[in-house]
Structure 1
Amino acid sequence: MDVVLHIGAHRTATTTFQAYLAANRAALGRMGIAVWGPKQTRDGLLTGVIPIESARPPQEQLDRARARVAINIARERRAGAKVLVISDENMIGAPRRCLRQGRLYPDIGQRLARFAHAFDGQVTRAHLTVRSHDAFWASVVSYSIARGNRVPDRAALEALAAAPRLWRDVVLDVACALPGVELSVMPYEIFGGLPERVLEHMTGLGAMPRAHARDWRNQGPGLGQLRRIVGERGGDPARLPEGADKWQPFDDAALRDMREAYADDLFWLRAGAEGLAQLTEETGPVKTGTTPRPDQRKRGQDDGIEDRRLA
């Protein structure tokens, strides 16, 4: 039985994907696909992998989590599952921590190393979805405001735009934390609205159910909603622009730089990612060590790729 980890990232339609898995659980089970989503992973199954406040020391918490995971994986194997898909983006951290530190998943390596120990070498593949830096941070910022955080000032936004940590660094950390695990990277701009295609690539078992594949979940708030939320809690809605569309908090220069950084990330992935990962695009998997597409041999900006997907 293959064990597949879907680790996010946040704001890349992970909730839509998880809702699709849950809605099709019975059909997937008949195909030999078992699913653990947040309903399972956050109901005690993985408690202790990341230490919590407890009378038990961290190592004992981890050992107990490892035993629980082993028991449950064995149960899925005995039931005849061909593939176990485990989807929980919180394994790699929280967006609020990314915001506080102004960096993409600063402790993803340490976290995934603990999960690797908990799964005791049984993970076959891991899947990470990446998103253009400008759209990722805009969505994270908007979502954080909707959850009660303050509207960031210009200095904070400029710091995010200039953050030196890129998806390439995240991929390197994941590969180091999960040695021997096949790592696949998918662009949100291609797969964000196609959960069935994501699952096809994850499992390698052919066509997946189309039912509930277009049920959007957890979309980012628009400007009108954000202004209303800020006003209701006593803030100043005038700090946000007028309009009803999604908020783009970055100026043109920042957008250009962030999109160029993302284009560099994709260039590195297409060039083989130093043998550590494979990039999956519309044309299928690009194996490690292959050359970039002819139209992508030039490093730099790739505009307009975000417009096709939800926030």
Structure 2
Amino acid sequence: MTKEKNRRLGTFLVLFAAICWGFSGTCSEFLFKTRDVSSEWLTAFRMLTAGGILLSICWIQFFRGKAAHPLTILKDSYDLKRLLIFAIFGLMSVQYTYLVAISLTNSGTATVLQYSAPIFILGWSCLTYKRWPYPFEAISIICVILGVFLLATHGHPSNLVLSMAGLVWGLSSAFALALYTILPRGILGRHGSLTVTGWGMFIGGLVFFLFTRPWGEAISWDGGMVFGLVGLVLIGTVMSFSLFLYGVNLIGPVRASILACVEPVSAALFSHFWMGTRFTPMDIVGFVIIIAAVLILTRPTPADRAK
């Protein structure tokens, strides 16, 4: 396959994966509003099911000779500790906070708020390397603050249009996404993202399930429930994750991260046309500003150019 075909295929896969992520967020909104499931039950179900499927894929790849043994990561004490930290403080926290944010707002707003995560990653980078933000990074920070302000108040400081709980959980999901991005860096290179994410999902889901004990919740198993769960777990987690990883291999992480900004747009569109969520012009301006801030941060720093 030529480089041009690889680029086109990778672009399509990343865009499709981002749209699937947006769709999965609206599936969660659908389940919250029409099937009255709790964030705790949905988080546990999503993580355990998706983790089990991803690990099954890892085993299939191992038996085909295309991947390392999935249990290798559990045999190294240092990697196991990093995996547990990632599973609980990275994956479990980002899954739960994001779903709670959706239940309190809507999938579009929750996804856009979560997309402010690069600002937290930038803060971690500045503290780690003991530096001030570069000018373009400072502009990005200002854009995120302005975008969140417009989403929360529509430009009127005394008028909070988002519930305080929804705003707090949305920003908490952004912080959790930053942890999710930072924590597994050491073990990803040694064991691969599919294995790390599969184990992280399964372990985090098991811990969350045992901690919250949602098994007593009454669930109405009808067609709508099954449709929502398939969209959330299979389409929005397993399939989208696999397609995104393959796309990253074809076009690189920088281009992929830019294209992934389609996710909050698709989530907002799905929420509007499917769930009837109404967004004001000020909401749209806030969305655009936050997404623009993320795009600004994809620019290489002077240190990156020097490498």
Question: Is TM more than 0.5 here?
Answer: no
TM-score (norm. length: structure 1)? 0.28
Q: Which has the higher contact order (CA 8 A, sep 6+)?
A: 2
TM-score (norm. length: structure 2)? 0.28
Greater strand percent: which structure? 1
